[in-house]
Amino acid sequence: MGKISKTVVVALFLAGGLLLSSCSNTPSDEEMKQLNDLKAEVSSLEKQVAEKQREKAALEKQVAEKNGKLQQCQSDQEAVKKGLGK
C-alpha cells in the first residue's frame, strides 16, 4: 500500500507539474502588447498601400489622358500645316 501511495503521489506531482509547466508557457503582457502593436502597424500599412495604389491608378489615368491630348495636338499641327499649304 505504501508503494502504491508513493506511486500515486509521484503521478500526481508529474501531472501537476505538466499542468503548471503548460500554464507558464504563455507570453507575458509586454509580449502580447508587442504583438498587438505589430498587428496594428500591419493594418495601418495595408490601408496605406491601398490608398497609394488608388493614387497611382488616378495618376496613370491622368498621364494617359494627357498623352492622348498631346498626340491629338501633334496631329492637329499636321492637319493645320496641310490646310495652310505649308
Residues that bind other proteins (CB under 8 A): 1, 4, 7-8, 11-12, 14-16, 18-19, 22-23, 25-27, 31-32, 34-35, 38-39, 41-42, 45-46, 48-49, 52-53, 55-56, 59-60, 62-63, 66-67, 69-70, 72-77, 79-81, 83-84, 86
For residue 63, the minimal CB distance to other proteins (Å) is 5
Nearest 10 degrees: CA dihedral of 70, 74, 79, 83?
110
Instruction: Report d(CA 11, CA 39) in Å as an integer.
Output: 42
* All three cell numbers of 77: 499641327
